[in-house]
Amino acid sequence: MDTTLQDPLVGQLLDGRYRVEARIAVGGMATVYRAVDTRLDRVLALKVMHPSLAADDSFVERFIREAKSVARLAHPNVVGVFDQGTDGSYVYLAMEYIAGCTLRDVLRERGALQPRAALDILEPVLAALGAAHRAGFVHRDMKPENVLIGDDGRVKVADFGLVRAVDTVTSTTGSVLGTVSYLAPEQIEHGTADTRADVYACGVVLYEMLTGSKPHSGGTPAQVLYKHLNEDVPAPSAAVPGLAPALDELVASATARHPQARPFDAVELLGQARTARSALDDAQLDVVPPRAQENVSTGPEERTSVIPRTLPTEQHTSRLRMPLPEEPEPAGQRRRWPMSSRRGLVGLVTAVLLVLGLGTGVWYINSGQFTQVPRLLSQPEKEARKKLDAAGLDLKGVERKFSDTVARGAVMDSDPAPGERIRTNGSVTLVLSRGPEIVKVPDLTRMPLAKARGELKDAGLAPGVVTRAFSADVPRGAVISTDPAAGTGRSPDSAVAMVVSKGAPVDMPSVTGQSVEDARSRLEGLGLKVDVAPGQVNSPAEAGKVGRQSVAVGTRLGEGERVTLTVSKGPRMISVPDVLGKERDEASRILKEAGFEVEVERPFLSFSKVIDKQSVAGGEQAPEGSRITISTKVL
C-alpha cells in the first residue's frame, strides 16, 4: 500500500501553481515532495515545512534563510532553489529535482568505496561547500543524507536548512544543531560553528566512504559526542589495510579536533584532496575494500525517514566508476530520490484535463472560440513572435525584467501564461529577460569594517567572509582589499569577501620577571595595549614582578592588540619529599614529580646508588621549581 496516498498534500495544487505528485522524504522540519510546476511545465521538488512548525517564527526564518542562501550560490553542485512561498499553513521551497539517490543509500548498499570513487564524490561536495564558504555561509549539517548523486553521475549538496553566515555566532542552549556523528568538537562544546566545522564533517564523511563505518560509534548519542570531544578520528587504513598514507593524512587534516589545525574552509580542503589524489597511482586509487556489514545503517542519532519511490524506474548506470550489484533488489527496499516518469506525467496531465472539463466532447464544442498560449519560455523574441502569429494571437506588448536564469532577449514569462486558455483572437504580453542585474562592487579600501559592511548593503551586495592580515599602510580595522575587486560587476545580493587590517606586525617580546611599569612601557612602545589582571599567580618570578603574559613570546600581533599581564606572588612553597635511603633513580623521580629540579652528586670513591644526603631535608618547605641536590653514599 502506498502510504503517500494518505498525505493530504498529495494530489493538491499548492499556491495555485505546484501540483504535488508524491512524497519523497520526511525530516524533522519538513517533508519533501515531487511536484510539477504547472506554469513552467517542469518537475521539481517541494520542501514543505511541517504545519506544526509554521507558527514558530524562528523555524520560518531558518526555512526562508535556506532559500535566500542557496539562491545566492548558483553553483552546479548545489541543489538549486527556484521559489519560496506560503499557501495557508504551508510554507514551502520549490527546489531542483534530482533523479537518483543519496550517498547514504550508496553506503548502505555497498559499504566502503574504492578511494577513486570516494574522491569522485568528495571533490564536488567540497566545490559546493567552498562556494558557500567564500560566499559567507556555513552549512552546519553535512552528512551522507545531504549528498545527492544523480542518475547522470552529478553530485549535489542539499539541505541548507541550518545554514548561517560565517561571521554570525551560532549557539544553542541545551541542544546542539546538526547530526551527532558529524559534529565538530567546537559545535558540541561551545555550540558554535564556522567553515572549519563543515571541513570536520567532510572528513568524517570521507572516513565513512573509505571504511564503510563511522569513526565514532556508541549506544547513545551522548557516547558519540564524548568520543568526538576526546578521541581523534582513527586512520582509515587501520580499518581497511592497503589504503595509502595520503588518504590517512587527508582524513587527519580535516578531522583535527582543534579547529585551527584544520584547513580554513572547503576550498583549502579541496586543494588538499586534489594533491592527495595526484600522489596516488591507479593501484592505490582502486584498492577494493572489504564489504562492510556494520555501522552503515542510519542510527537513531541521524535517522532520516525516506519514502520508497512509487513509480517504476530503469536501473541507472553509476558515473562514479562503482560497479552495481548484479542481483535484483526486492521491491520497496531501495531508498532513492525517485526518477521522473514521462508516461506517468502524461497520464497525470490527461487526468487533470478530464477533471477540468477539457475532455474530447467539450474540446470540440469550444474549438472555434479558444486556443492555448504557445510554449514560449526561453524562446528568442523573434521565435516567440512567430509562434504567436501561427496561433492566431496578437502581441499586446513587451516588458523586460532582470533574470539570472533566462538568457538576455529570451522569453521569461507571458501574460496569459504559457498553456493557459485564450480566445483565438486574443493578445499576449511577452516578458523578456534583460539578463542578470549587475551591481558594481564599491571601493572600500581603508574604510572601517562596520562602514564597509553598510556600503555593501547600500549597494545591494552582501558582506561575505572577513579575513584579517597585517598591514603597515592600512589602519587597524580598515579594509585592505575585497574579493571581487572594486568596480567588478556582480548580481544583487552576491557576497563580497573582505581582507581587514590587523595593523603593523609586532613580535611579542618576553616581559616576565620585569616590573609591571617597565613591561607596560615596553609593550605600549611597540603599539600594543596592556591590561593587568586583578589577581596574582605563583611563578618563578620575584613577587611583584610580571609572572605571566597572555601572549607567548614570538607571537606576531597586530598594532593595537591587547596583552594581559599577571603579577607574580612568588613561587609556590611546597613540601620536600624525604628520599634518604632510596636508590638514585627513584629519588630523582620522586623529587621531579613533586615539582623540583634535581642535581645528583657522586662523591669520590662512591659506587653506591643509595642516597644519604639531600640539600633540603625531607618535610621542609622549598620554592616550587627550585633545585634539590642529592648525594650517594661513600663506600
Q: What is the spatial distance between Cα 374 and Cα 377, in angstroms, rounded to a whole number?
A: 9
Residue 249 exposure: Cα atoms within 13 Å on the Cβ side: 11
CB 334 within 8 A of CB 109: yes
Q: What 3-state class would DSSP assign to 543?
A: coil
How many other C-beta atoms can be found within 10 angstroms of the C-beta atom of residue 484? 15
Inter-residue contact 473 to 503 (CB < 8 Å): no
Distance CA 532, CA 509 (A): 16
Reading the block at residue 545, the C-alpha cell is 614582578
What amino acid is encoded at 177 in this protein?
L
Give percent helix, percent strand, percent coil of the chain, each to the nearest 5.
30, 25, 45
Question: Grid coordinates representing 452?
Answer: 564597509
**For the chain, give me the number of helices (H) and strands (E)?**
17, 32
Residue found under cell 572600500: 444
**Strand ranges (DSSP E) for 117-187?**
137-138, 147-150, 155-157, 164-165
For the sheet with 427-433, list strands across it: 394-401, 427-433, 411-415
**Residue whose C-alpha cell is 552582501:** 462
Quote the CA–CA distance of 306 and 50 in Å, as a whole number.
16
Active site residue 159: no
What would the grid cell of residue 353 be? 484535463
Q: In what order do the strands lie in the sheet containing 529-537?
A: 529-537, 562-568, 546-549
Contact present, 163 and 132 (Cβ < 8 Å): yes
d(CA 166, CA 465): 6
Phi, psi of 82 (to 5 degrees): -95, -35
CA atoms within 13 A on the CB side of 235: 11
* Torsion angles phi and psi, residue 567, rounded to 5: -80, 140
Residues 251, 278, 108, 9, CA torsion sign:
positive
Distance separating alpha carbons of residues 301 and 263, to the nearest angstrom: 27
Q: All 3 cell numbers of residue 469?
A: 592580515
Catalytic residue among 7, 141, 194, 413: 141
Q: Alpha-carbon torsion 56, 58, 62, 65, what sign?
A: positive
By annotation, the residues acting in catalysis are 141
